[in-house]
């Protein structure tokens, strides 16, 4: 696999085939991702793989909490309390393109809610990967977590697997940690849905854009 092509062509997949992923393949992916760099080689990542009944239990617990209006404070703030441009506009365009790919009208709140709840169903993927890091480590180690996540999803691509990195799966950290028996001294970072892409579904043809290099780079000589 060409690394540059992989980085350019990686995408978030939101519809998966009903096809299991061999545990051996997942092990090989993790065995590659573990070589990601980290500050002082601390390797802060803790990975919990969920499939079958355990994954379904997490889905049901989160959906139940959502429907009952129960909210939890996340272990880390991902989105800002107040959106400002250019990020507000980029987020708007991303959501508009996604719902358009799903065939959902802008004013159809019920359809949007149903589509959003698919996040907690891992978009039908057979595997959920949930990532945690020790609370004792500073927020700077989130950089290392990001590097590990990128290594993981690119290694998945090399094995023919599709992924979707999801902050949404970390909205109920206490609930998830109770199910998985993860100690409270770990904070939940995010989740990743993993499986084989259903290329026939229009939602997987939707791609986000990127700003040009000139827009985010300054050169100093």
Residue 1: predicted pLDDT: 83
Instruction: For residue 32, give the 3-state DSSP assignment.
Output: helix
Whole-prediction pTM value?
0.95
Task: Say how many C-beta atoms besides its own lie within 10 A of residue 167's C-beta.
Answer: 14
Q: In what order do the strands lie in the sheet with 162-166?
A: 46-50, 127-134, 186-195, 162-166
Instruction: Identify the domain containing residue 148 by its residue range.
Output: 3-76+119-204
Residue 162: predicted pLDDT: 98
In a domain, 18, yes or no: yes
Instruction: For residue 51, give the 3-state DSSP assignment.
Output: coil
In a domain, 58, yes or no: yes
Residue 109: predicted pLDDT: 84
- Looking at residue 12, the DSSP 8-state letter turns out to be B
pLDDT digits (tens, 9 = 90+) for 67-96: 999 999 999 988 998 999 999 999 999 988
Number of domains within the chain: 1
In a domain, 32, yes or no: yes
In a domain, 89, yes or no: no
CATH number at residue 130: 3.40.109.10
In a domain, 198, yes or no: yes
pLDDT in tens, the chain (221 residues): 899 999 999 999 999 999 999 999 999 999 999 999 999 999 999 999 999 999 999 999 999 999 999 999 999 988 998 999 999 999 999 988 888 888 888 888 888 888 889 999 999 999 999 999 999 999 999 999 999 999 999 999 999 999 999 999 999 999 999 999 999 999 999 999 999 999 999 999 888 999 999 999 999 99
Is 113 in contact with 168 (CB distance < 8 Å)?
A: no
In a domain, 54, yes or no: yes
In a domain, 184, yes or no: yes
Residue 170: predicted pLDDT: 97
In a domain, 211, yes or no: no
Residue 154: predicted pLDDT: 98
């Amino acid at each position: 696999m060409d690394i540059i092509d992989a980085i350019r062509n990686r995408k978030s997949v939101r519809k998966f085939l009903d096809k299991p992923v061999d545990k051996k393949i997942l092990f090989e992916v993790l065995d590659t991702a573990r070589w990601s760099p980290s500050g002082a080689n601390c390797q802060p990542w803790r990975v919990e793989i969920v499939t079958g009944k355990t994954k379904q239990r997490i889905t049901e617990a989160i959906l139940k909490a959502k429907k009952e209006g129960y909210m939890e404070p996340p272990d880390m703030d991902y989105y800002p309390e107040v959106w400002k441009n250019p990020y507000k506009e980029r987020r708007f365009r991303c959501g508009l393109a996604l719902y358009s790919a799903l065939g959902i009208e802008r004013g159809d709140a019920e359809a949007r809610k149903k589509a959003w709840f698919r996040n907690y169903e891992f978009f039908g993927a057979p595997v959920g990967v949930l990532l945690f890091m020790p609370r004792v480590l500073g927020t700077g180690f989130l950089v290392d977590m990001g590097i590990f996540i990128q290594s993981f999803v690119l290694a998945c691509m090399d094995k023919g697997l599709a992924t979707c990195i999801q902050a949404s799966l970390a909205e109920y950290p206490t609930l998830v940690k109770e199910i998985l028996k993860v100690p409270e001294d770990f904070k939940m970072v995010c989740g990743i849905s993993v499986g084989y892409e259903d290329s026939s579904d229009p939602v997987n043809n939707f791609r986000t854009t990127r700003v040009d290099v000139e827009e985010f780079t300054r050169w100093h000589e």
